[in-house]
């Protein structure tokens, strides 16, 4: 007898298929309800718009206008209506229309031919939306109503292209009734407002758009970050309106950007060391041994006597992103009648040889003679010429029963290849756009903020207008100087971008020099050799990817500069050092 039925797997598969079907059907039903809801909302919004249109038509022509608008009237500019548990925003705009049929602008003695009413009703929610209706209302008989001048507004972006549907806010507290109204530019970025009341330097106009920067006019004496704007630039002053004349105002806005500022350590001290537990860091030796018992290097022993002389040479020490050599240290024991002297070698072509005494003499002791007091300061060693080194120790004894002992040695340097964050660094950031001047004649900048990188060593600046920015750090207050900026300053921020600026910080010194090398087009030149020298000082640096070299500490005096880069003419000049000095050098092809 055979029994038929379903296995557990078959049952689960069937349930899963049914579940997928029902979920799909439920989603369609839910979407259908939402579409019906949106349709109802649109019908309601259209009804509200029609109602506002009819109310406006039933007003006297003189009262067709918005409260605080141009022309003035009795209609609220913005209203909120609650209907069926949904909030509707009703926006009313009324403007004069200057019909070209009888001339336009200043060629028309009465540029107030009729009024145009536009009603926009919007609602929010999952499927929010808006509807717009407009109508024209003309005066009875001959056009005589209205007087004043014409405000003509043009809004364009950073490329000079028109910005359509930009929001234009017009305010005037001098006239009666006062004006406080919002409009939008047309598809050509223009707004034309006949009938503006006559007055001098009295119209504050602000242009913006969602996700865009803001541009506006400014009043003399207006406080900008607590500083009186004594003299606004001519194109940024409150505009005047004269009878039957056109007053033009233009504004530049564009999409906002994001700037991330990171502060990291410019040069961290790194170390190469060998404690002689084995011979892995020894490249050459003669009559010495690395004793695993002692974890040290000693003279080689033969028939109970120590051989002399002998030497040991380290493996090559090749720092990456070398900024400056640090110091040479060692730990040794030199019994009476024994000695160890230390030297540095560098690679010349395929051979290693002693660094010349002209480049390495410390405290009167020459490299060729060998150093015997630790530590040895190597900060003046030219990093361009000596980008890798080896350490050599020369052993000797006058007593065959005694040997000097080298327990360990280290060499340090400063490298910029790490990105260790430096937290809570205060900095100032200033844009290049100027609004006018203060009482002392100093420029008042549109953007100027004091910021900090915070606990993560990073600051994200949102809603930043396109401009050319410069970041400065108060070294005395923070303990840091800017040794490298990537990209180089000034920082050009374009519209609608997200950019990161990395500031590499060095310990603060009273006098420093940051050299930026670029071509005639402003592009940074990496790999250029920059030499700064005067009596008693002569150093060379290689420009970074951002075309920069940093010299610190310096004296407050005049230094000679010499810059070389293949494919460009050599540049020579001088620079006067005082505080945190900067020098931009432009190289030209031969």
- pLDDT tens profile 309-351: 999 999 999 998 888 898 999 999 999 999 999 999 999 877 8
**Could you give the C-alpha distances from 360 to 190, 290, 314, 339, 392, in angstroms and in order?**
71, 28, 18, 21, 14
d(CA 372, CA 101) in angstroms, rounded, equals 100
Prediction pTM value:
0.76
| DSSP secondary structure of 263-320 | EEES-EEEEEEE--SSSTTEEEEESEEEETTTTEEEE-EETTEE-SSEEEEEPPB--S
At 104 the pLDDT is: 59
400 CB burial (10 A radius; 0-12, 13-18, 19+): middle
Compute the mean pLDDT over every residue in the chain, rounded to the nearest whole number. 89
Mean pLDDT of 146-167: 91
- pLDDT tens profile 467-478: 999 999 999 999
Least confident of 38-52, 65-79, 96-110, 292-306: 96-110
At 26 the pLDDT is: 61
Place of tokens 């540095």: 344
In which band, very low, low, confident or very high, does the pLDDT at 102 lie, cut at 50, 70 and 90?
low
Q: Check whether 560 has a pLDDT greater than 70.
A: yes
At 5 the pLDDT is: 59
Q: Check whether 168 has a pLDDT greater than 50.
A: yes
At 191 the pLDDT is: 94
Q: Check whether 527 has a pLDDT greater than 50.
A: yes
- pLDDT tens profile 217-237: 999 999 999 999 999 998 899
At 348 the pLDDT is: 80
């Amino acid at each position: 007898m055979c029994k038929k039925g379903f296995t557990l797997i078959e049952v689960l598969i069937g349930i899963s298929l049914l579940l997928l079907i029902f979920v799909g059907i439920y989603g369609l039903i839910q979407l259908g309800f939402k579409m019906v809801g949106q349709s109802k909302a649109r019908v309601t919004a259209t009804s509200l718009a029609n109602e506002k249109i009819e109310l406006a038509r039933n007003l006297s022509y003189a009262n067709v206008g918005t409260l605080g608008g141009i022309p003035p009237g009795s209609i609220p500019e913005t209203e909120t209506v609650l209907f069926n548990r949904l909030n509707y925003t009703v926006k009313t705009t009324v403007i004069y229309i200057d019909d070209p049929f009888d001339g336009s602008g200043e060629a028309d003695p009465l540029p107030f031919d009729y009024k145009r009413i536009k009603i926009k009703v919007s609602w929010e929610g999952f499927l929010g939306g808006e509807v717009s209706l407009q109508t024209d209302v003309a005066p009875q008989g001959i056009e005589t109503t209205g007087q004043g001048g014409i405000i003509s507004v043009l809004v364009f972006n950073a490329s000079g292209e028109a910005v359509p549907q930009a929001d234009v806010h017009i305010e005037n507290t001098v006239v009666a009734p006062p004006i406080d109204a919002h409009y939008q530019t047309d598809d050509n970025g223009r707004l034309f407002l006949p009938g503006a009341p006559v007055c001098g330097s009295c119209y504050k106009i602000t242009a913006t758009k969602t996700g865009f920067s803001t541009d506006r006019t400014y009043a003399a004496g207006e406080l900008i970050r607590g500083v009186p704007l004594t003299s606004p630039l001519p194109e940024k002053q409150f505009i005047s309106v004269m009878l039957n004349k056109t007053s033009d105002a233009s504004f530049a806005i564009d999409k906002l950007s994001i700037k991330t500022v990171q502060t990291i350590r410019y040069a961290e001290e790194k170390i190469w060391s060998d404690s002689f537990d084995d011979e892995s860091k020894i490249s050459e030796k003669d009559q010495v041994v690395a004793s695993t018992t002692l974890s040290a290097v000693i003279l080689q022993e033969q028939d109970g006597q120590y051989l002399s002389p002998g030497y040991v040479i380290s493996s090559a020490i090749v720092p990456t992103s070398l900024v400056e050599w640090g110091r040479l240290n060692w730990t040794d024991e030199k019994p009476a009648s024994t000695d160890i002297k230390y030297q540095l070698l560098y690679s010349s072509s395929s051979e290693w040889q002693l660094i010349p005494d002209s480049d390495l003499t410390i405290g009167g002791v020459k490299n060729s003679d060998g150093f015997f007091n630790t530590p040895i300061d190597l900060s003046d060693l030219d990093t361009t010429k000596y980008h890798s080194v080896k350490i050599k120790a020369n052993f000797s004894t006058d007593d065959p029963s005694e040997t000097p002992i080298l327990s360990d040695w280290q060499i340090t340097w400063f490298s910029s290849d790490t990105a260790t964050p430096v937290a809570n660094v205060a900095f100032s950031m200033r844009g290049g756009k100027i609004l006018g001047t203060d009482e002392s004649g100093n420029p008042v900048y549109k953007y100027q903020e004091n910021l900090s990188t915070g606990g993560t060593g990073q600051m994200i600046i949102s809603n930043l207008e396109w401009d050319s920015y410069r970041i400065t750090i108060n070294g005395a207050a923070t303990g840091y100087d800017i040794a490298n900026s990537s990209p180089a300053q000034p920082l050009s921020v374009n519209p609608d971008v997200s950019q990161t600026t990395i500031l590499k910080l060095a310990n603060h010194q009273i006098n420093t020099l940051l050299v930026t090398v670029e071509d005639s087009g402003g592009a940074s030149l990496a790999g250029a050799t920059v030499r700064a020298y005067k009596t008693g000082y002569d150093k060379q640096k290689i420009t970074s990817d951002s075309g920069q070299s940093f010299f610190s500490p310096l004296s407050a005096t005049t230094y000679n500069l010499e810059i070389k880069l293949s494919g460009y003419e050599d540049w020579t000049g001088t620079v006067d050092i005082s505080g945190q000095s900067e020098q931009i050098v432009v190289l030209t092809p031969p």
